[in-house]
Amino acid sequence: MSLIKFDSSKLTPFVHKNELGEMQALVNAANTELRDGTGAGNDFRGWLDLPVDYDKDEFNRIKKAAKKIQGDSDVLICIGIGGSYLGAQAAIEFLNGAFYGKEKGKYPIVVFCGNSLSGSYLYDLINWLGDKDFSVNVISKSGTTTEPSVAFRIFKDKLVKKYGKDEASKRIYATTDRKKGALKTEADAEGYEEFVVPDDVGGRYSVLTPVGLLPIAASGADIDQLMKGAADARADYTDTDLKKSTPYQYAALRNILYRKGFTTEIVENYEPTLRMFSEWCKQLMGESEGKDQKGIFPASANFTTDLHSVGQYIQEGLRNLFETVIRVENPTHDVKIPEDARNLDQLDFLKGKSLNYVNEHAYEGVVLAHTDGGVPVMTVNIPDQTEHTLGYLIYFFELAIAISGYLNGINPFNQPGVEEYKRNMFGLINKPGYEDLHDDLTKRFNEAK
């Protein structure tokens, strides 16, 4: 039985009763492509069995390294871009309060960089870091991706200056390729603790590998329960029957809506600690499906906050949107609304009520308003914000998006379009091997002005 309760009941005005059943044969075929490895990208399906088929010795080394970081560092600087950081940041935010920080005898703050080329961001991070004790987890399969490589060079230099070369090497944890690459070569030479990016798991599917597990564990999370949640989802989601199998229902309904002109999906939440989970979803969806001039465009919104910014557009703008709400049935905490004798804010009708009570009815009101306004709404209901639920939720979305990609006739596991901007950037900054592009690219850009 699924831990996740998927609610598509509000799709009645948009999806006819027979349509989901008509998708069954296509879903069965997509599932066969995925499970049997006959579909495109079949060498990147390692995530399917990862929750039970992972290196247990390495997993124990991750937990040991996390304890060392907890003991000697106030801060863990996690360096990576795309799938090398989004999953970990989403998980840490999901599992911790909005203002968590290191207290004596507890866990380090995990911060993320190497995901942009902003000098201001790194300057601010360096200033904030000050004289705090820190370690670095650098995550890169090749070790030559520009954004994380630049950040690693900067913080490696700071480690050496603060602790000396030998101690600095003990505070660097490299998550990289098993056999090759610049980072692997450096890690071997300098004696960094090493963890492996599996060959058969792409970046956006890698949160349950050492890519995500080390920073998540360092933050104090129970990664055994995280993996158990994903393993339970794997066991629960083997039946493709669209009458009961929730990730397959979701994949099919997304494609039904897409073919009717609903080309943008907004992943939404009503808990601020799910903000980065929506960002992880955006990468999972965008890189998996945006190919061959087709695919659902992923967006995100944080409610009720964004109802005061994009809410008007969702309600009355172009009718090419549909919404997927991730709703927490039992939020971690709550606050009661007090009585105020003067009642100047006219809120006394809510005295004694909780914020979660108001938030829940805001969700219900928004669903009704947007549905009435011509926007399809689906809801992914999760029971709580624990490690077990998070692992389950991660697997739900990974499976659904893989199936959705095959339903749309694309390879859900590659991302060829990501390389084009890199080629241009390398030419413009005269990276060795790209110098011949410099003059032409500079001329073209200046002409565009």
Q: What is the pLDDT of residues 165-176, one digit of tens each?
A: 999 999 999 999
Q: Which of 93, 265, 287, 289 is an active site residue?
A: 287
Burial of 444 (0-12, 13-18, 19+ CB in 10 A): exposed
Q: How far apart are alpha carbons 388 and 195 in whole angstroms?
A: 23
In a domain, 399, yes or no: yes
- Mark which of 221, 240, 266 sits at the end of a domain: 221
What is the arithmetic mean of pLDDT over 154-170? Answer: 97
287 is catalytic: yes
CA distance linking residue 395 with residue 380, whole number of Å? 13
Q: Is residue 422 part of a domain?
A: no
Q: Within a domain: residue 116? A: yes
Best CA proximity match to 82, nearest among 26, 42, 140, 166: 140
Query: Six-digit token pair at 119?
Result: 């000098």
DSSP 269: E
What is the extent of the structural domain holding 20? 5-39+227-408
Q: Which helix (H) or strand (E) holds 445?
A: helix 438-448
The pTM assigned to this predicted structure is 0.94
The vertex-389 CA angle with 383 and 393, nearest 5°, equals: 100
Same domain, yes or no, for 10 and 65? no
Q: Is 58 a catalytic residue?
A: no
Structural contact between residues 276 and 212, judged by C-beta atoms closer than 8 angstroms: no
Q: Based on the fold, state whether residues 22 and 57 are members of the same structural domain.
A: no
Tell whether 176 and 263 lie within a shared domain: no
Residue 238: is it exposed, middle or buried by C-beta count within 10 angstroms (0-12/13-18/19+)? Answer: exposed
Q: What is the pLDDT of residue 418?
A: 65
Cis before 240 (ω within 30): no
What pLDDT is stored for residue 147 in this prediction? 92
- Listed residues 408, 426, 444: the one ending a domain: 408
Catalytic residue among 351, 422, 435, 443: 422
The mean per-residue pLDDT over the stretch 48-73 comes to 97
User: Domain for residue 16, yes or no?
Assistant: yes
Same domain, 169 and 216: yes
Task: Give tens-digit pLDDT for 366-425.
Answer: 999 999 999 999 999 999 999 999 999 999 999 999 999 999 999 999 887 666 777 777
Rounded CA-CA distance 275/271 in Å is 8
pLDDT tens digits, one per residue of 315-332? 999 999 999 999 999 999
Q: Are residues 194 and 112 in the same domain?
A: yes
Whether 47 and 398 have beta carbons less than 8 Å apart is answered as yes
Residue 358: give its domain's CATH number.
3.40.50.10490
Number of domains in the chain: 2
Separation between Cα atoms, residue 421 and residue 410, nearest integer Å: 22
Read off the tokens for 200: 């058969």
Give the integer Cα–Cα distance in Å for 201 and 83.
Answer: 11
SS3 110: strand
More confident residue, 439 or 117: 117
282 plus 234 within the same structural domain: yes
Could you tell me if 190 and 291 lie in one domain?
Answer: no
104 pLDDT higher than 60: no
Strands in 12-116 per DSSP E: 75-79, 109-113
User: Do 269 and 290 share a domain, yes or no?
Assistant: yes
Percent of the chain with pLDDT over 70: 98
Are residues 256 and 380 both part of a single domain? yes
Query: Looking at residue 339, what is its pLDDT?
Result: 92
166 and 256 together in one domain: no
pLDDT of residue 429: 74
119 and 34 together in one domain: no
| CA atoms of 438 and 348, how far apart (whole Å) | 66
Q: Is 449 a member of any domain?
A: no
Assess whether 108 and 168 both reside in one domain: yes
Domain-terminating residue out of 199, 221, 243: 221
Q: Judge whether 11 lies within some domain.
A: yes
**What is the distance between the alpha carbons of residues 214 and 179, in angstroms, rounded to a whole number?**
20
Residue 192, CA atoms < 13 Å, CB-side half-sphere: 24
Closest alpha carbon to 13 in 300, 314, 365, 260:
260
Q: Does some domain include residue 413?
A: no
Interatomic CA distance for residues 282 and 296, integer angstroms: 10
Neighbour count for residue 57 (Cβ, 10 Å): 8
Q: What is the mean pLDDT of residues 108-136?
A: 96
Say what the pLDDT of residue 105 is.
61
Q: Is residue 193 part of a domain?
A: yes
Instruction: Check: CB of residue 272 under 8 Å from CB of residue 302.
Output: yes
Q: Where is pLDDT greater, at 58 or 448?
A: 58
Tally Cβ neighbours within 10 Å of residue 76. Answer: 25
Residue 430 has pLDDT above 80, yes or no: no
Q: Are 294 and 408 a contacting pair, CB within 8 Å? A: yes
